[in-house]
Amino acid sequence: MTDSELRTADLVSRYGVMTKETMPQLACTTHKNWPVRNDHCFQRIVLDTVCEGVWYDHLPRPAYKHLSHKQALQAVDLCNDIIAGKANLVALNTQSLKWRGKLHTHRTGG
């Protein structure tokens, strides 16, 4: 394994720990007003944001095995920003749901 592959693997591992353990634990044990609690939701939001669209339209499954070094770094940075409150998880979740066609806005009037 080359140094760049190892570094990418390390980043992917950090992303996995943050989305599967750290963020769900924080969502359940702190007073954060996060719209999601489950690991797969954090993964969806982070990957959709990194891919700027529905992640599986951009990456083969499983996504973590196909992240580029740049994408893995972006994912880790975004997780850190969410945890630190520097990124708005509510807005990121809303955008992810919009990309997926799962968010319907209610219009009034005609």
Of the candidates 80, 48, 49, 64, the one whose C-alpha atom is nearest the C-alpha of residue 8 is: 64
Position 110 scores a pLDDT of 45
The mean pLDDT of 1-7, rounded to a whole number, is 69
Q: What is the pTM of this model?
A: 0.89
**Average pLDDT along the chain:** 92
Q: Rounded to an integer, what distance in angstroms lies between the CA atom of residue 71 and that of residue 90? A: 21
Q: Which two tokens stand for residue 91?
A: 């807005």
Angle, helices 39-51 vs 89-99, to 10°: value is 70
The pLDDT tens digits of the residues spanning 15-57 come to: 999 999 999 999 998 878 899 999 999 999 999 999 999 999 9
Residue 80 φ/ψ, nearest 5 degrees: -60, -40
